[in-house]
Amino acid sequence: KPGEYRLTASITASELLELLRSGKVIQYQVTFPEGINLQQALTVLASQEHLLVEVDDSGDPRLQELVKPYAHPEGLFFPDTYYYSRGTTDLQLLQRAHRKMVAVLEQEWQTRAADLPYETSYEALIMASIIERETGLPEEREQIAGVFVRRLQAGMRLQTDPTVIYGVGDEFDGNLRRAHLKDESNDYNTYRHDGLPPTPIALPGLASIRAALHPAPGDELYFVARGDGGHQFSKTLAEHEAAVRKLQLQRRSDYRSSPRRP
Residue 1 has a pLDDT of 86
**CA-to-CA dists, residue 174 to 74, 102, 128, 168, angstroms:** 21, 32, 23, 11
d(CA 101, CA 103): 5
Peptide linkage before 33 cis (omega within 30 of 0): no
Residue 172 has a pLDDT of 87
**CA-to-CA dists, residue 81 to 32, 59, 75, 84, angstroms:** 6, 24, 16, 10
Residue 251 has a pLDDT of 60
Which three-class secondary structure state does DSSP give residue 13? helix
Residue type, 126: I
Residue pLDDT tens, the chain, 262 long:
888 898 999 999 998 999 899 888 999 999 999 999 999 999 999 999 999 999 989 999 999 999 999 999 999 999 999 999 999 999 999 999 999 999 999 999 999 999 999 999 999 999 999 999 998 889 999 999 999 999 999 999 999 999 999 999 888 888 888 999 999 999 999 999 999 999 999 999 999 999 999 999 999 999 988 877 789 899 999 999 898 888 876 665 554 444 444 3
What is the chain's length? 262
In the chain, where do the E strands start and end? 28-31, 81-84, 222-225, 231-234
Model pLDDT for residues 81-94, shown as the tens digit of each residue: 999 999 999 999 99
Q: Which long-range contacts (CB under 8 A, 24 or more apart) does 37-46 make?
A: 37/74, 37/75, 37/166, 37/201, 37/202, 37/203, 38/63, 38/73, 38/74, 38/75, 38/77, 38/203, 41/77, 41/94, 41/203, 42/90, 45/90, 45/93, 45/94, 46/90
Alpha carbon of residue 75 to chain centroid:
6
